[in-house]
Amino acid sequence: MTTKQWFQGVIKLIIVIIIIWFLLELSLSVRKRILKASKQPITMTMTITRTITTDVRAYCPKECCVPNPECLDGRFANNEIAQGRAIASNSLLRGTVLRVPGYGVAIVKDHGPNLIEVFFEKHEDAVNWGVKRDVQVEVLR
Ligand SMILES: [Zn+2]
């Protein structure tokens, strides 16, 4: 191997390293952008993608409403602390954003036996809601 060949080999290696570095940077920036977009706050101006007509049951985080003892850890199925507004569903993907009339905009964070259940921190609020029949639930995202 001559000095010239060795030198050309080094140059090629450097070019390959630069290309790999560039591709890694590119994929990282795309990932960052996707992450940023997913963290954007929920606004009421989002377009409705579809409407589901369904019964909506309410539940609280305690044993009165959660029959499975393993689920009584004060957290939703997505591991967030069980508080605020949230939806439990047996068929909608976690992270789906819904607008439930009388409840508001909430994200599917939990699993449950029904199509849509709305979460209340207090059992009495869940009892007040009970089961609402044929609610027009809007799927926002
Ligand atoms: Zn309850």
Domain regions of the chain by residue span: 1-39, 42-140
The whole model's pTM is what?
0.66
Higher model confidence: residue 40 or residue 33?
33
Confidence of residue 11 (pLDDT cuts 50, 70, 90): confident
- Residue closest to 86 by CA, chosen among 67, 103, 72, 69: 103
Rounded to the nearest angstrom, the distance between the alpha carbon of 109 and the centre of ligand 1 is: 17
Taking the centre of ligand 1 as the mean of its atom positions, its distance from the CA of residue 107, in whole angstroms, is: 20
Architecture of domain 42-140: Beta Barrel (2.40)
Compute, in angstroms, the gap from residue 11 CA to the centroid of ligand 1.
69
Select from 75, 66, 134, 141 the least CA-distant residue to 102: 134
